[in-house]
Amino acid sequence: MTDRSDAIESDAIESMEQLAAVWRAVLLDRDPGADVRDLSGIAARWADSRFVFWNCLTLTDVGAGVDLLRTRLDQAAALMRAKNRPGFLWLFEDLLDAQARAAAPAAAEDAGLALAFSGTGMAADLPPLPEPAHPDLVFARVATEDHLRAYADLNSRAYGFDQAEGRDGLLGSTLWTTRAYAYLGLRAGVPVTCAAAVEAEGRLFVALVATDPQWQRRGYGEAVTRKALYEGARATGLARATLHATAAGAPVYPRIGFTPNSPVRFYGLKV
């Protein structure tokens, strides 16, 4: 019988590995010269992009104790200081032992890192999904530069980025227009919500879900996420899906069948 702690650790490993796999594909699509390296205990996925989500480090040790955590945080902070643009260290708490989890906030501060926001990893073994619909929306698969611009602008508005930063992250991408199952939800012909499912290592990874703030709390984000998963599952035959949710978005995904696993803390350099 599998102990629950073993199951949590396994889910946390899956969540971390999905981040590393998907960000590798996304970054190399954007920039073949991006810093994509698997270092000892740290996965570097850093494009030095104006779109801050494409500048990412994550710790990969399993069961790290306090001393190892402090070492890795110092190493990560040094890597971040050597970059031209800001980004985040993604810390999956369930990869740490109990003492390291308790020590993590102080250890991060000592390394020169500040908590930016929190989230959670989630995963689901999805049943066959009905074709999604929402009475207000028409769905369009992302296929053109205009679609990418709309997708980028929705993310910028939803997450508080400058418009140019979001566009720097997505315009010109071939992954988002050919390999990802990325969709816009249009209300009266105007894009108001978006979501994508990206195939990675036998799973569908849900990414960059966003809804224009003036149209939130109407079920649009859930509907377009269901659409991306439905089309991704239909095309690939995959039923396992993962994602990383912000605290604000987390309540949506259990309604689709996702279960939370590891808490995730996003750290940036102190200013």
For residue range 59-111, list pLDDT tens digits in order: 999 999 999 999 999 999 999 999 999 999 999 999 999 999 999 999 999 99
Share of residues in the chain with pLDDT > 70 (%)? 97
Q: What is the largest CA-CA distance in the chain?
A: 56
Within 10 angstroms of residue 123's Cβ, the number of other Cβ atoms is 22
CA distance 121 to 97: 17
Q: Give me the pLDDT at residue 85, please.
A: 96
Nearest to 49 by CA among 172, 210, 206: 172
**Which pTM value belongs to this model?**
0.93
Share of the chain above pLDDT 90, in %: 90
**What's the mean pLDDT in 230-238?**
97
* Average model confidence (pLDDT) across the chain: 94
Lowest mean pLDDT among 183-187, 246-250, 263-267: 246-250
C-alpha–C-alpha distance, residues 11 and 23, integer Å:
18
Nearest to 121 by CA among 255, 26, 18: 18
Classify domain 138-238 by CATH number.
3.40.630.30
Dist CA 129 CA 141 (whole Å): 18
- For residue 3, the model assigns a pLDDT of 47
For CATH 3.40.630.30, the residue range(s) in the chain are: 138-238
- Per-residue pLDDT, averaged over 14-24, amounts to 96
- For residue 55, which of 81, 80, 22, 28 has the smallest C-alpha distance? 80
Give whole-number Cα distances, 69 to 82, 88, 107, in Å.
20, 16, 8
- Residues ≥6 apart with Cβ < 8 Å to 247: 117, 118, 119, 120
pLDDT of residue 179: 94
**Residue 2's pLDDT is what?**
42
Confidence grade of residue 4 (pLDDT, cut at 50, 70, 90): very low
- The single-letter code of the amino acid at 190 is V
User: How does pLDDT run across 205-219, given as a tens digit for each residue?
Assistant: 999 999 999 999 999
pLDDT at 38 over 90: yes
What confidence score (pLDDT) does residue 6 get? 57
3-state SS, residue 193: strand
